Amino acid sequence: MVQSLSKRTDYPCLSENTYLNQASLGLISEGSVQSMHNFLDDTGRHGNLNMSDSEEASFLEPLRANGSKLIDCNPDNLAITSSASEILNQLPYLFEPKSGSKILMVSTDFPALTRPWIAYCQKANCEIKFIDESADKNLTEQLIANLDANTAAVCVSYVQFSTGTLINIKRLRETTNKFGAKLIIRQKFMLINEKINKIKEDFSFFDNWEDKYQYLIDLGKKLPVLDDSYKTEEYRVQGCTSNLWMVPEFIDGKINLSGSSDSVIVKGLFYLVYYTYNEETPETIINNPLSFFEEIGLSNHLGQSRSNGLNSLRKKITSIATELSNK
């Protein structure tokens, strides 16, 4: 598994600036710029004279091979396009839902995701059912409640870009499978070290622990709802004063996590574990212990009982990952 894409020093602009506009035009590393320059210089001067037919046909294969290692998938399952917007624009025409069928989407979802479907459905006589996100309702459950036999596809971002709400993909997938509907998920891939760095950066914004605790509580609210049937002794993490339930599942070589707690603080702590480890391989989890809890100072401010509970959670998930990696 590739552990980092590049170094900060590969982007000279960052020595003097904080660059946030990745949605429009992201920075390109010096190495990539040089490779592009070399390629354009060679093709501009010589056309394809320096490239055989077989080399031209397999030109993208090294990129496909490295990309598949990065996201841990089969190279044959990786499509290479010029941008995310390009493939999002093609999706409706790849699936071609029949006339009169329904497409479920979130009204405030990313425009590059919703607009191609709006244009397609106007021509194909399909209905788009937009779900309005509400603070007092679970978004995943709202989507599920609107699924029926006429639903051709549910098209949604894993993380809602306007609110940060997480979609419970596992639960949504189970329901779309029952109705025979396609599930299309827009998701930004992050390496585990990027996720850990984001957690540390987010907590560094707060000057006092009262604000940090409130942020932790707010994070806990983002957890997908755990069905009450899982809140049993079998899934309870031992060693926690408050009840903490964790449900690990091993799917396609990766660990899928879900969980909850009856304590708002513990629920927030579990969210950090969920955010970091969900859908990661056992080996990745083993090689990336949750040391950031100490680095951001949480371990020293939790109190003895919660610290013990956090340690129990860390030991539990590491034990599960170790057991699965040895199979």
Instruction: Among 127-136, 147-156, 162-171, 185-194, name the one with the lowest average pLDDT.
Output: 185-194
- Residue 91 · residue 103 · CB < 8 Å: no
State both tokens at 48: 């394809």
Domain of 318 in residue numbering reads as 192-325
Give me the pLDDT at residue 148, please. 95
Amino acid at 159: V
Q: Give the separation between CA 243 and CA 178, rounded to whole angstroms.
A: 32
How many CB atoms sit inside 10 A of residue 28's CB? Answer: 14
pLDDT at 131 over 90: yes
Residues 252 and 148 in one domain: no
Q: What is the mean pLDDT of the chain?
A: 87
Tell me what the mean pLDDT of segment 174-197 comes to: 86
Residues 218 and 152 in one domain: no
Residue of 316 and 187 predicted with greater confidence: 316
Has residue 2 been placed in a domain? no
Quickly tell me which residue has 């010589």 as its tokens: 46
State both tokens at 327: 């199979």
Residues 19 and 70 in one domain: yes
- Please list, in sequence order, all residues whose beta carbon lies within 8 angstroms of the beta carbon of residue 205, skipping any fewer than 6 positions away: none
State both tokens at 120: 């397609």
* Closest-CA residue to 231 (of 215, 247, 218): 247
Residues assigned a catalytic role: 240
Give me the pLDDT at residue 326, please. 81
φ, ψ for residue 106 (rounded to 5)?
-100, 130
Q: Give the separation between CA 207 and CA 204, rounded to whole angstroms.
A: 7
Highest mean pLDDT among 1-15, 70-84, 103-117, 278-292: 103-117
* Closest-CA residue to 159 (of 185, 193, 196): 185
Residues 180 and 225 in one domain: no
Q: Give the separation between CA 39 and CA 136, rounded to whole angstroms.
A: 53
Q: Give the separation between CA 159 and CA 167, rounded to whole angstroms.
A: 6
Count of the separate structural domains present in the chain? 3
Residues 170 and 287 in one domain: no
Residues 277 and 316 in one domain: yes
Has residue 142 been placed in a domain? yes
Residues 315 and 201 in one domain: yes
Residues 161 and 99 in one domain: yes
What is the distance in angstroms between the CA of the first residue and the CA of the last residue of the chain?
A: 19
- Residue 115 · residue 167 · CB < 8 Å: no
Q: Give the separation between CA 142 and CA 107, rounded to whole angstroms.
A: 12
Residues 57 and 159 in one domain: no
Has residue 217 been placed in a domain? yes
pTM metric for this prediction? 0.60
| Confidence band of 193 (pLDDT split at 50, 70, 90) | confident
The CB-based long-range contact list for 259-262 (8 Å cut-off, 24+ gap) reads 259/223, 259/226, 259/235, 260/223, 260/225, 260/226, 260/231, 261/220
| Confidence band of 5 (pLDDT split at 50, 70, 90) | low
DSSP 8-class letter at 8: G
* Closest-CA residue to 166 (of 7, 274, 41, 262): 274
Has residue 213 been placed in a domain? yes
* Closest-CA residue to 124 (of 156, 147, 102, 155): 102
Distance of alpha carbon 296 from the chain centroid: 22
- Residue 142 · residue 165 · CB < 8 Å: no
Has residue 163 been placed in a domain? yes
Q: Where are the beta strands (DSSP E) in the chain?
A: 102-106, 127-131, 151-157, 182-186, 244-251, 254-261
Give me the pLDDT at residue 198, please. 86
Give me the pLDDT at residue 51, please. 83
Of 77, 97, 117, the last residue of a domain is: 77
Amino acid at 175: T
Of 61, 77, 93, the last residue of a domain is: 77
Q: What is the pLDDT of residues 257-307, one digit of tens each?
A: 999 999 999 999 999 999 999 988 899 999 888 888 888 888 778 877 788
**Whole-angstrom Cα Rg for the chain:** 23
